């Protein structure tokens, strides 16, 4: 195995991040050097992982790597392993992309802060933690990486500790996050007691089929632990607090990457380690949790009046989509869920960066204090609109492509199982999507359009570096929306297939034939997975039509044969070009975010006030939710599994 062989790439990927973190501590005082190191250490892993796409995604190879070449001895894994199958690589690519783009963004974004070297150190630690988590083939290492990323995320949340709520958010996150981490540790160790191994592949071969009481307990603990990391519903207030207070580039990571690591953990847990996904109740619980997450969080988002906090609630709502789709346990479902996970990283990253740009220029993200920024920041506004259209699922952007697959998957599942409950999930998903649209209409109106308050008059377009980073994400949003066929073929479907092929995963790690030997006839190989959907959607031809139509209409409109009256606009204040105020002089009057959608909120007022009281902001309450969720999970595991 040569030193530069592709088998080394996963470990290089993880090490580059940590190496970068270390180098910045040492050499970070010089700005140029710092930026160079940060750039190289985020671009490098991305390049390394992209170079693996051909092997892993297309040819279905699974890379297993034993640290120090300590391969299993006598069917017994003693070394520490990294294992990269299509699923790991898929999440790894998401992580690397988000980290790279957010890093480009932070070069200019973090300029005005103090202690910038520490920021980059923590940032790279966070990136390395998540990357280590998704590429690891060892349960205890997963725990270590979870701790590293939680720590880095907490520290980064509190990084701007003068911002209202930053410390508070960090503390709440630390407490509930620690409960989650402790659950993961306890679950890991109980599994170890049962199987005397920590290797994922070996555990996956030994555990399924022999569930004792302790194994079931371990399942519940691990499940809740990863739910904490994904911020699924009882844990969602933490995400909202943390995203809202952290610098925008960190919010991108927390929302786009950290939540994905939780989802990754859940997938590994239910599809590989315990292989419980064939149980109807397990599917029901995942879909239920996902649906509740998406609906509760989107309604919470509608009630927010802070730009970033609103986006944070939407993150969890979108994660709910992912979990729902994954919980269907059909090929189409998982493929759709992973597609949406990818899209979420892209568009939510874009939206957070746009929010960061607004914060950078105006110093606030309060929806009530902003307005009319599209005039001062046209590029940011356009990029934000792309992100907003994506997340609201407006065709032809990427959010629509994946949501459309999710609708198909849920409804198809309903038709296959004859269970009308899954049809209800389709309905919830679609209504949630419309509510998402509503809340982004709210942001658009109250931040970028409408009238400009005096305080925002000094805003100007953000530096090119920041726009460039946003532009990359916007471009990816459009491309992944226009070519859903390519995305599913080369990225999500291989990953979805890998989720079913636990047998291959075990064999790649433990040697050919191991899975069959240990698990007997039950060894799940690589079953034929169907990705057929019952609908049709070809975004490219639709877009082409729209373009032609728009062009034709514009040509007619501009030919101007019928309309000699020119469109005039004058710079001096003239009565004619003032807004119509019933005859009064124009004065500042903005329909703010809180005033919108009264007709909706009024009908749901009891629900909204109930939810508002529930999210009390007291850390004890959130911990209590965590404990209750843990208790429920344990009861479920003991009774059903």
- On whether the CB atoms of residues 332 and 533 are closer than 8 A, the answer is yes
Which of 283-291, 489-497, 513-521, 616-624 is the region at the interface with other proteins (rule: CB under 8 A)? 616-624
User: Which residues, including other chains, have CB under 8 Å from residue 464's CB and lie 6 or more apart?
Assistant: none
DSSP 82: E
Which of 204-212, 252-260, 332-340, 423-431 is the region at the interface with other proteins (rule: CB under 8 A)? 423-431
Q: Does 367 bind other proteins (CB under 8 A)?
A: no
Q: Does 156 bind other proteins (CB under 8 A)?
A: no
Q: Does 165 bind other proteins (CB under 8 A)?
A: yes
Minimal distance, residue 489 CB to other proteins, in Å: 18
Q: Does 488 bind other proteins (CB under 8 A)?
A: no
Position among 89, 156, 169, 351 found at the interface with other proteins (CB under 8 A): 169
Closer of 283 and 408 to other proteins (Cβ): 408
Cis upstream peptide for 279 (omega within 30°): no
Q: Does 279 bind other proteins (CB under 8 A)?
A: no
Q: Does 359 bind other proteins (CB under 8 A)?
A: no
Neighbours of 583 (CB within 10 A): 5
- On whether the CB atoms of residues 108 and 466 are closer than 8 A, the answer is yes
Q: Which of 425, 423, 404, 395 is nearest to 289 (CA)?
A: 425
Positions in 439-458 near other proteins (CB under 8 A):
441, 444-445, 448-452
Positions in 505-534 near other proteins (CB under 8 A):
534
Positions in 529-558 near other proteins (CB under 8 A):
534-538, 541-542, 545-546, 548-550, 552-554, 557
Residue 173 to residue 258: CA distance in whole angstroms? 13
Q: Count interface residues toward other proteins (CB under 8 A).
A: 133
Angle formed at CA 269 by CA 332 and CA 261, multiple of 5 degrees: 80
Which of 30-38, 109-117, 184-192, 352-360 is the region at the interface with other proteins (rule: CB under 8 A)? 184-192
Q: Does 309 bind other proteins (CB under 8 A)?
A: yes
Which of 61-69, 422-430, 458-466, 494-502 is the region at the interface with other proteins (rule: CB under 8 A)? 422-430
User: Which residues, including other chains, have CB under 8 Å from residue 347's CB and lie 6 or more apart?
Assistant: 387, 390, 391, 397, 398, 399, 473, 477
Q: Which of 638, 633, 606 is nearest to 234 (CA)?
A: 633
DSSP 277: T
Closer of 464 and 542 to other proteins (Cβ): 542
Minimal distance, residue 420 CB to other proteins, in Å: 5
Identify the burial level of 584 via C-beta atoms within 10 angstroms of its C-beta, where 0-12 means exposed, 13-18 middle and 19 or more buried.
exposed
Site string for other proteins, 560-599 (x = CB under 8 A): -xxxxx-xxxx--xxxxxxxxxxxxxx--xxx---xxxxx
Positions in 32-61 near other proteins (CB under 8 A):
none
Position among 33, 175, 279, 638 found at the interface with other proteins (CB under 8 A): 175
305 alpha-carbon distance from chain centroid: 22
Closer of 94 and 248 to other proteins (Cβ): 248
Q: Does 68 bind other proteins (CB under 8 A)?
A: no
- On whether the CB atoms of residues 65 and 82 are closer than 8 A, the answer is yes
Minimal distance, residue 620 CB to other proteins, in Å: 6
Closer of 521 and 555 to other proteins (Cβ): 555
Q: At what angle do helices 116-135 and 86-109 cross, to 10 degrees?
A: 170
Minimal distance, residue 577 CB to other proteins, in Å: 5
Q: Which of 392, 400, 396, 386 is nearest to 470 (CA)?
A: 386
């Amino acid at each position: 195995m040569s030193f530069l062989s592709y088998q080394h790439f996963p470990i290089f990927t993880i090490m580059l991040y940590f190496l970068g973190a270390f180098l910045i501590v040492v050499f970070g005082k010089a700005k140029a050097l710092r930026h160079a190191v940060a750039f190289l250490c985020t671009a490098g892993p991305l390049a390394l992982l992209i170079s693996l796409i051909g092997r892993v995604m297309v040819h279905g190879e699974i890379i297993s790597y034993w640290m120090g070449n300590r391969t299993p001895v006598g069917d017994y894994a003693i070394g520490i392993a990294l294992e990269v199958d299509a699923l790991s690589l898929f999440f790894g690519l998401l992580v690397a992309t988000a980290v790279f783009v957010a890093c480009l963004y932070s070069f200019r974004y973090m300029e005005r802060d103090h202690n910038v070297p520490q920021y980059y150190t923590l940032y790279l630690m966070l990136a390395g933690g998540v990357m280590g988590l998704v590429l690891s083939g060892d349960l205890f290492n997963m725990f270590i990486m979870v701790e590293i990323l939680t720590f880095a995320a907490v520290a980064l949340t509190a990084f701007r500790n003068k911002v209202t709520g930053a410390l508070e958010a960090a503390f709440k996150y630390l407490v509930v996050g620690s409960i989650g981490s402790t659950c993961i540790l306890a679950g890991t160790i109980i599994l170890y007691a049962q199987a005397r191994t920590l290797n994922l592949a070996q555990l996956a071969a030994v555990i399924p089929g022999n569930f004792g009481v302790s194994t079931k307990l371990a399942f519940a603990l691990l499940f809740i632990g990863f739910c904490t990391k994904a911020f699924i519903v009882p844990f969602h207030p933490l995400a909202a607090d943390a995203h809202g207070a952290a610098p925008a580039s960190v919010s991108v990571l927390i929302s786009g990457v950290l939540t994905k690591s939780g989802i990754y953990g859940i997938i590994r847990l239910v599809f590989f380690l315990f292989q419980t996904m064939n149980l109807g109740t397990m599917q029901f619980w995942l879909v239920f949790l996902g649906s509740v997450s998406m609906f509760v969080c989107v309604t919470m988002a509608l009630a927010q009046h802070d730009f970033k906090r609103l986006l944070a609630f939407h993150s969890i709502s979108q994660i709910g989509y992912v979990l729902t789709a994954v919980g269907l346990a059909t090929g189409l479902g998982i493929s759709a869920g992973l597609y949406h996970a990818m899209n979420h990283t892209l568009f939510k990253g874009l939206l957070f960066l746009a929010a960061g740009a607004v914060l950078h220029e105006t110093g606030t993200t309060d929806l009530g204090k902003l307005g009319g920024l599209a005039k001062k920041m046209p590029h940011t506004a356009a990029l934000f609109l792309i992100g907003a259209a994506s997340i609201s699922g407006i065709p032809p952007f990427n959010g629509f492509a994946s949501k459309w697959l999710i609708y198909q998957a849920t409804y198809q599942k309903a038709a296959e199982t004859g269970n009308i409950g899954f049809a209800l999930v389709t309905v919830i998903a679609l209504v949630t999507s419309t509510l998402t649209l509503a809340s982004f209409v709210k942001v658009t109106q109250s931040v970028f359009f409408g009238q400009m308050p005096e305080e925002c008059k000094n805003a100007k377009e953000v530096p090119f570096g920041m726009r460039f980073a946003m532009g990359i994400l916007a471009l990816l949003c459009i491309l992944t929306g226009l070519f859903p066929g390519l995305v599913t073929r080369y990225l999500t479907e291989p990953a979805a297939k890998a989720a079913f092929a636990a047998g291959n995963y075990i064999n790649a790690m433990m040697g050919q034939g191991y899975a069959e030997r240990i698990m007997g006839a039950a060894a799940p190989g690589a079953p034929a997975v169907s990705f057929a959907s019952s609908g049709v959607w070809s975004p490219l031809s639709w877009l082409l039509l729209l373009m032609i139509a728009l062009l034709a209409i514009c040509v007619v409109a501009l030919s101007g044969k019928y309309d000699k009256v020119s469109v005039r606009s004058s710079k001096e204040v003239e009565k004619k070009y003032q807004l119509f105020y019933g005859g009064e002089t124009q004065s500042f009057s903005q329909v703010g975010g809180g005033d919108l959608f009264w007709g909706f909120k009024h009908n749901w007022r009891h629900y909204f006030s109930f939810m508002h009281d529930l999210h009390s902001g007291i850390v004890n309450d959130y911990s209590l939710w965590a404990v209750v969720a843990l208790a429920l999970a344990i009861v479920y595991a003991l009774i059903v599994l």
